[in-house]
Amino acid sequence: MKVERSRQGDHTVIRLRGAIALGETTQTLAAELGQAEKEGTGGTVVDLSELRSLDSTALGLLVGSLRRLRAASRELALVNPNQSVAMLLRMTQLDSVFPIRPTVAAALELLNHAEGGKKGGGPVQRL
C-alpha cells in the first residue's frame, strides 16, 4: 500500500493505493489517520479510488477516526471506493455512516459545507 497525505485548505486528503491487509499497512493507515486528526482543523478526505481492497482492521481504523473527528465537530468523507470496497461498506452498513462522494473535489465541497453548517449554513446532506 502507498499513502499520500496533503492539505487542501483546512482539510487533510489521504490517498490510498494498493491493498490494505493486517500488519504494516494497517499501521501506516493508523499513523496517517492519527496525523490528520492532530491537524486540529478541518475534516479528512480518504481517497479510495486506487485502493484494491481493505480488511476489517482498516475498516475499524476508519470508523475510529470518524468517531474521534465527529467528537471534535469535524468530518471524515470517503471517495470513490471500487466495487469490492463499496460492497464491504454496504454489507457492514457503513455506507450509511460515512459520507461517500465520487471525487475528492465533491468530498471537499461536502466538508466545506459542513463547516458552513456549523456556522448556520444548514445541515450536511449525505448520499
Residue 102 lies in a domain: yes
Question: Which range of residues forms the domain containing residue 101?
Answer: 2-121
The total number of residues written for the chain in this structure:
127
The pLDDT assigned to 37 comes to 96
pLDDT in tens, the chain (127 residues): 899 999 999 999 999 999 987 778 899 999 999 999 998 889 999 999 999 999 999 999 999 999 999 999 999 999 999 999 999 999 999 999 999 999 999 999 999 988 765 533 333 333 3
Residue 127 lies in a domain: no
Residue 60 lies in a domain: yes
94: helix, strand or coil = helix
- Per the structure, the count of domains in the chain is 1
CATH of the domain at 6: 3.30.750.24
Residue 86 lies in a domain: yes
Residue 126 lies in a domain: no
Answer whether 3's CB lies under 8 Å from 15's CB.
yes
C-alpha 101/C-alpha 32 separation (Å) is: 20
Residue 19 lies in a domain: yes
Residue 92 lies in a domain: yes
Instruction: Fill in the DSSP letter of residue 103.
Output: S
How many CB atoms within 10 Å of residue 53?
14
Residue 36 lies in a domain: yes
